[in-house]
A and B are shown apart, each in its own frame.
Chain A
């Protein structure tokens, strides 16, 4: 039924092609006048939003065989941001997953016209990313290296070559550029209509002028949708409402928090040049000038991401309709100057229009997809950070896979809705943060960059104390964590100047912290860790947990077990430590950003009738990590209890008194492989315990340390972290953690079958540690993560994290090694032998450094004992 209607819309649109039509179209009513058609009362899936996201999800779902789908659009199809989008498809992205999404979109749009018969205006123009500075060129080279290994052609070119590719460009201030020849321009509205038409042909029912009021939820499960035209019962709801996704999420009885916020975005349209620009003229991105320029109907289309964005719709939808937004030339002035500097000949070109089209941004500049942690069956795809067209195809495919198979074919944790919680959902936070995020689109992205806005939301009770001692902070999941402590006599560079791809200014500071961890004792505030208590009234706790966790948790009370929570495929949904507090309760410590994900996973997978009680106690405990050989002395002096390994063995947990405070959970583990203890302190005792530790520790040379020291320590010891090195597509066998899985613990657990199979067949990738050999710490580019790894000249994988090891005096990278067949490119089994027999290189922004591969940590780091005659006077100094 709907298909006929849809075609008529499309047909009318095509009758007078071109963009002007878009502007006039909003005033005239659609040719297919909304016949008051009754909505179906029931469907499997209801998709809200008829932009490129909604239509792409509908398209892919219907391709994958789901037919009972209804798509609702409050206005007309493809009439929101999709309509006003600049139409540039660019694959040059910072994240691999984003590159893959854009690459897929490119291929999809390329053949869409053929598939649907609807013209999409797809033209392969290629794009050129300009670098005005050496740092920008490094950034481009890193992206270039990433693109090449996933098969997207691109190359670094000279300014001279740039001038050849685009004759209007002023190239005098350029140091280089990156050329991506297969990037394209396309009419995004037409793409959305084509996708909708194809979906419609596959049975998707599309209704425009139908608003979703709220989603009905029963027992944490989607049951239906309330619209202004009536109710539809459904099992799945997909929120693709773009800028309104946030509000729609909050409109439920059980709100779904989708942190995104719109900013006004301006671009300029001109009349054609005297000799009209060819439609194949490449798109230019001048990030240092904050602008993009593409050809458009013989003229140009140019916009940008200014330093002072104008957030909009903070109070919601009621203010203004998109159509009424004002052009703001004064606001556009810096971008116009930049454009004329880049293309001086445009001076005489006549202006057609300044378009104001709001774009949606998220708190971390990554899009949002996935299932709500609070409501099952509630899926989200929104917050595209003005790359909706580039991501549309790929993102729609991943979300469709997620809904149909339960998980997407790629790891999308970086984009998962569950990386956020309600804490990122404040309107004020979002408004402030997106004002930082939007300029960041074109700012230089350097390693270890921290957001400056929306900070100090969650802090440890020790925050002020640590801050006064020179702590510099970074933020994870809203929690402030110390990076390092600047000594009083030391000055660091200002924020902007500290941006570098080379050796950072804090190098010496972290070195002394690391030294202190190895030789004396350091205290690190690690309160941000996610902490749950799992209890049951009877003995069920153990039974349920044995099913959810891969390691054997049936250990004596007081023992700690490192274990994973695996999915059916054997991949890590969470990597955690479980302390058995008593027969019936466990204390669970997970990475900071697991707070929402892990909670949702446990809720979803625990047996429905189980009496397992879950409590999030993250806020109840301050966690102090005492690292170093003297930690034992500090603790025993504070507790009057012997803390030596005989009395307090490794991986042991006990409630004891520290100073005056009682009930401190002391655990003999450190997350870094160094000797030491974790102290879980009820928050009201935190300051007391900290002060006691610091004052007693003085004679043992205690000092504060931060996460950068921790990172250096854990990476040199080959400790992989969930979310950075391992994810839900990594199994324990692939990262050398066979010992943390008990396949024969006497009962089934999630993922066991997959692991058994993998054990038999072998693994297809293997986490490996690389030690850079010919790398000059002072002069060479530092590794970060995402650098391609080459084995015998062949690409085998990418690094996942890296740090400088002060003990090895080398850089250490962790990363996965694959074994791609030389003939077919298919993945083959990776054996220890395969790893050990290779010659390795790591590609840092186009420069390759030799590296030694290790499957196990360097043993000498664990048995570090200083000989008596090595001691010197400086050992008597406080560190």
Chain B
């Protein structure tokens, strides 16, 4: 694992002209790489590895001197981040390649890349009666970073009703997003548990009995959990529920989902911070908890129980509801607010939380303290701890940490921490029969596609699969030939949709491959996917998508009950 100082989220500005991607039909490799090499050379010179996203250029060129001052080159740096050793030779070789070669992936190759991480879950039916308001979900992710920094989670709450789904966008490495993806749902589930269940679980732990299962995970084989930290994480979680037990006043009050979500987010972030301060005698774990705390992650989590949909969001991932209007058209209903500089209320909040004197420095260049794009996140203790605490932990920490320029570096104008919080904003929505699906996705999707397009593409995909209107001859005069023509046409239409069995995959195909007309261009898709991992991040971000499909019949039945 690699603690890499920020790709995009933490701006390490570099001069960079706009990157001419896909101009005409140029032979992909040489033409694509050429402008990039200059960037990398620059990175070398500045001693930083810079991964710029083409749509999110960090800064204007006038900003360079400042940044250069902040990041003094350091030889140890090279060991911490990509590019890898052979990277230089690789690009050098490419640079002098004399014969331009056309290099495309075939459609099956494209599909195997797109489908490598796809996962589908269908809520099981019992006796033909599906009692869940969720039919199932499709999820997928496409890496741009290597390794990917996005994470996703999905689980069914076993002791309470409802299902949890979340996407997590990591920065400065994947340690934090990984930890949040495996831990957050437990914190939420515990927060939702009634007092008696908590007691039962605690008693079971105490007497060494088998524990009640809390979550049923729905995981892709590539979604892993850390074995080493499992015990540590369990102990922190247990401390949490013990406190919940102690806090209980004895009155059994209804648990408020919104409150539970907020508590769970805050508690987990607190535990991440605490674990890093306390450290661990095991050196591997010690390094792990520090990496988790010094990297960061945003989270966007949905809790669906019957018709009650809660979305808890921290950062700039987004939850979007697909609504089908009466005329069959699709519209998007945003269920979360981005926590970044585009959000006036967030700017307001930050200004209020800090003295007037900092009003100008707290957000600079649309970034928190001029560095961080999301205004709320897990981890990122550099924006939370006091300078003293940061220094103390780093000094007593392992050498790797001590040698790391990034961790040692204190943000500018750092006067009144904390500047960052993991507290989520929770939105509630009561599902209606016209709410057909929910898209949870990291900003990798939202910055390439408009929300209306996202909802339309998913909506058409899902209805193409399930709701193609049946044909009835009725009283009309139809000949066999006409009917045959009609059916063949319908089938061709279906088969293009059927290329993807997964709505998330279908969406990624569009996000990466869409041309200016909004249709998938295979050539473009092929080029985008054949970028070497070192370069991919400059053209696109990690994309993680979960598409949850609702059961309108069940939702409708809820409505009728009342």
Contacts and interface: CB of A to CB of B under 8 A. Distances in A.
Contacts of B490: 330, 333
A352 B477 CA distance: 8
B531 to A, nearest CB: 38
Interface residues of B, number: 18
A346 B480 contact: yes
A326 interface: yes
A387 to B, nearest CB: 26
A329 B490 CA distance: 11
Nearest to B473: A351
Contacts of B473: 327, 351-354
In this complex, the member of A270, A340, A351, A354 whose beta carbon has the largest number of chain B beta carbons within 10 angstroms is: A351
B489 to A, nearest CB: 10
B25 interface: no
A328 interface: yes
Contacts of B479: 347-351
A405 to B, nearest CB: 44
A561 interface: no
Contact of A348 (B128, B468, B481, B491): B481
Given A329-B487, A330-B490, A330-B491, A350 B471 contact: no
A380 interface: no
B487 A330 contact: yes
B483 A336 contact: yes
B470 interface: yes
B470 A330 contact: yes
Given A350-B477, A351-B478, A340 B484 contact: yes
Interface in A294-346: 314-315, 319, 326-330, 332-333, 336-337, 339-340, 346
Nearest to A268: B480
Nearest to A319: B128
A336 B470 contact: no
A347 B470 contact: no
Nearest to B476: A351
A336 B484 contact: yes
B472 interface: yes
B327 interface: no
Nearest to B491: A333
A9 B327 CA distance: 48
A329 B128 contact: no
Given A315-B127, A351-B478, A328 B484 contact: no
Nearest to B481: A347
A336 B487 CA distance: 9
**Across the A-B interface, the 10 shortest Cβ-Cβ residue pairs:** A347-B481, A333-B487, A329-B471, A351-B478, A346-B480, A315-B128, A349-B480, A348-B479, A351-B473, A350-B479
A56 to B, nearest CB: 34
Contacts of A270: 480
A328 B490 CA distance: 13
Interface of A: 268, 270, 314-315, 319, 326-330, 332-333, 336-337, 339-340, 346-354
Contacts of B109: none
B466 to A, nearest CB: 12
A268 B481 CA distance: 13
Nearest to A327: B472
A172 to B, nearest CB: 19
Contact of A330 (B128, B468, B478, B481): B468
15 contacts: A330-B468, A330-B470, A330-B490, A333-B490, A337-B484, A346-B480, A346-B481, A347-B479, A347-B480, A348-B479, A348-B480, A349-B480, A350-B478, A351-B478, A354-B473
A351 B470 contact: no
Given A315-B127, A333-B491, A340 B470 contact: no
Contacts of B488: 333, 337
Contacts, number: 62
A351 B480 contact: yes
Interface string B457-477: 000000000001011110001
A162 to B, nearest CB: 21
Task: Tell me which of B127, B480, B487, B491 has the highest count of chain A C-beta atoms within 10 A of its own C-beta.
Answer: B480
Contacts of A332: 487
A327 B473 CA distance: 9
Contacts of A337: 484, 488
Contacts of A315: 127-128
B470 A328 contact: yes
Given A329-B483, A349-B479, 18 more contacts: A268-B480, A314-B128, A315-B127, A327-B472, A329-B471, A329-B487, A330-B470, A330-B471, A330-B490, A336-B480, A346-B480, A346-B481, A347-B480, A347-B481, A348-B480, A351-B480, A351-B483, A352-B473
A348 B477 CA distance: 11
Interface in B487-527: 487-488, 490-491
Contacts of B478: 350-351
Most buried by A among B468, B478, B487: B487
Contacts of B487: 329-330, 332-333, 336
A454 B468 CA distance: 32
Which has the most chain A C-beta neighbours within 10 Å: B127, B470, B477, B483? Answer: B483
Contacts of A268: 480
A288 to B, nearest CB: 19
Most buried by B among A328, A329, A337, A348: A329
B395 to A, nearest CB: 58
Interface string B440-470: 0000000000000000000000000000101
Given A315-B127, A336-B487, A329 B470 contact: yes
Nearest to A347: B481
A339 B470 CA distance: 21
A406 B471 CA distance: 52
A35 B127 CA distance: 39
Contacts of A328: 470
Nearest to A340: B484
A329 B473 CA distance: 9
Contacts of A329: 470-472, 483, 487
Contacts of A330: 468, 470-471, 487, 490-491
A340 B480 contact: yes
A22 to B, nearest CB: 18
Nearest to A318: B128
Nearest to A337: B484
Contacts of B472: 327, 329
A330 B491 CA distance: 8
B124 to A, nearest CB: 13
A354 B468 CA distance: 18
B470 A326 contact: yes
B495 to A, nearest CB: 12
A339 B480 contact: yes
A316 to B, nearest CB: 10
Contacts of B484: 333, 336-337, 340, 347
Contacts of A347: 479-481, 484
Contacts of B483: 329, 336, 351
Contacts of A314: 128
A644 to B, nearest CB: 57
A315 B125 CA distance: 12
Contacts of B128: 314-315, 319
A333 B487 CA distance: 6
Contacts of B481: 340, 346-348
A336 B483 CA distance: 9
B310 to A, nearest CB: 34
A319 B472 CA distance: 22
A328 B483 CA distance: 12
A270 B473 CA distance: 12
A496 B293 CA distance: 57
Nearest to B128: A315
Nearest to B471: A329
A336 to B, nearest CB: 5
Contacts of B480: 268, 270, 336, 339-340, 346-351
A315 B480 CA distance: 35
A133 B59 CA distance: 71
A349 B479 CA distance: 5
